[in-house]
Structure 1
Amino acid sequence: MTATDALLRVRGLVAGYGAAPVLRSVDLTIAPGTIAAVLGANGAGKTTLLRTLTGLVRPTAGQIVLDGDDLRGVPVEQLVRRGMAHVPEGRGVVAELTVDENLRLGGLWRRDRADARRALDEVYDLFEPLARRRRHAGHQLSGGERQMLALGRALVGRPRLLLLDEPSLGLAPRVTAQIMALLRQLRDRDGLTVLLVEQNVRGALSVADQGVVMSLGRIAIATSAAGLRDDADLRHAYLGF
């Protein structure tokens, strides 16, 4: 893949907290309309990578380019307008607001109000449980429903690149399978590009196009998801199974 083919291109990214770097010269290229699964042990730098891409952690070196635009120095709130959405670990929703109010937060910045309403309707079509509970408060939802709500709020903004941090954490296997199937659907139907950080390695690789393994703040390997899934030596060496 050439640089011009990439939706997201990261080069030499260094970032961390205080004086200690967590990311150490990370290079990453993600093609449009694909799912890249970022895997690795706890502490490998996966969450820090997402937080740095979305401006929550400021890099000390390196380059982040989204669809040809250099994102260095771009304010966090402007990244959403440029097509990047981040769903952090923990299914963060506003507990006091209703499902409908939470979803509308995802589109408040949009000028095309008619399309924002269409996007809201599309989310209800995708997540039928949310449509049934649109007047319920966030704290009244199950864990799976809160994850759907967090995803739906991001989708209302019609992102080109969706960053997901551990969407299956704490969910039942059935709900996890539904989330993974939804990501595949959004890629295939809408051409959405997804950067997926996930501890459920088998589930992530079942829907991903690219497998990226991080170790000690670096990219240890980046290859096709099928290649990583089917190569026992690679799995044992990098993923421990």
Structure 2
Amino acid sequence: MSTLTIEKLTVGYGDGAPVLDGLELEVPDGGVVALLGANGAGKTTLLRSLLGLVPVRGGRVLLDGADLTRLSTEDRVRRGLALVPEGRSVVAELTVAENLRLGALWRHRGPAREAAVGQMYELFEPLARRRDAAGHTLSGGERQMLALARALVGEPDVLLLDEPSLGLAPLVVAQLLGVLRDQAEATGLTVLLAEQNVTGALSVADRGVVLSLGEVVADRPAAELAADPALRHAYLGF
């Protein structure tokens, strides 16, 4: 279990104004934190910066007290971070099984790798039925399951997800969010979940964090946040 700490993080693109300006946040170990906010609030930029995909102008990213800020993306992954970006990112030419083996490559070898892949088939039964199908033949829901499974098979300590429910049927969304909640409870996985589906995200989260213009404007228990109509109307649109 790992605690992700973000200290005074300032991030921007090129010479433009910062997208995130002195953002501070702590994601405790073994829980689900829903990262909420309108389009342009900075959710995607935050997730990408945590993995080193966007240059940081100031501040620090810590994992269990260890400073990751100047590490490469590869080193951050080896330290325990994983990102499932928006867009159901899978290797379209590879089969489901090959995608999962690729996700497990640096963490497992031989029989241990196959065992880890088998656990993903237990979590996501549709993938077991389509293990020999190429990624480009999968439905949108199956692709998102595969993207999530490929991240989980590497046994990260902290999982970052960017809009995993986008464009998916409600039943698929419920299954994906349920897996996240179950994994957090069963394995101590720490999850930072950026979502436009506010109701779904808060239903599985321990806490909700609301971003507006690159700043944290609310950080509360999920149930308390969902029950605050003034804050919901002001920042979340419902």
Shorter-chain TM range is: over 0.9
Match of 1:206 in 2: 203
SS in 2 for 1:189: helix
- Alignment deviations for residues 41-79 of structure 1 (CA, whole Å, 9 cap, x no partner): 101100000000000001010010011210021111111
TM-score by length of 1: 0.95
CA contact (8 A) 1:165 1:197 kept: yes
CA contact (8 A) 2:32 2:204 kept: yes
Residue 109 in 1 paired to residue 106 in 2?
Answer: yes
SS in 2 for 1:106: helix
Partners of 1:148 and 1:84 lie apart in 2 by 19
Q: Which amino acid aligns with 2:7?
A: R
Q: CA deviation at 1:111?
A: 5.2
Residue 39 in 1 paired to residue 36 in 2?
Answer: yes
* 2:57 aligned to which of 57, 60, 64: 60
SS in 2 for 1:124: helix
Residue 219 in 1 paired to residue 219 in 2?
Answer: no
CA contact (8 A) 2:2 2:158 kept: no
Match of 1:10 in 2: 6
- Alignment deviations for residues 212-231 of structure 1 (CA, whole Å, 9 cap, x no partner): 10001111111111110112
Change (3 A) 1:148 1:37: same
User: How many residues were matched structurally?
Assistant: 237
Alignment RMSD: 1.3
CA contact (8 A) 1:116 1:157 kept: no
Percent of residue pairs bearing the same amino acid type: 61
Residue 186 in 1 paired to residue 183 in 2?
Answer: yes
Change (3 A) 1:153 1:237: same
Residue 134 in 1 paired to residue 121 in 2?
Answer: no
Q: CA deviation at 1:232?
A: 1.7
Q: CA deviation at 1:234?
A: 2.1
Q: Point out 4+ residue stretches in structure 1 off by more than 2 angstroms.
A: 110-118
Q: Which amino acid aligns with 2:59?
A: G
Partners of 1:33 and 1:234 lie apart in 2 by 26
CA contact (8 A) 1:38 1:213 kept: yes
- The gaps in structure 1 that reach 5 residues or longer are none
Partners of 2:81 and 2:185 lie apart in 1 by 18
* 1:197 aligned to which of 194, 197, 200: 194
CA contact (8 A) 2:2 2:190 kept: no
Q: Which amino acid aligns with 2:11?
A: A
Residue 172 in 1 paired to residue 169 in 2?
Answer: yes
Q: CA deviation at 1:113?
A: 4.2
Match of 2:153 in 1: 156
Partners of 2:2 and 2:77 lie apart in 1 by 19
- The gaps in structure 2 that reach 5 residues or longer are none
Partners of 2:68 and 2:13 lie apart in 1 by 20
CA contact (8 A) 2:8 2:59 kept: yes
TM-score by length of 2: 0.96
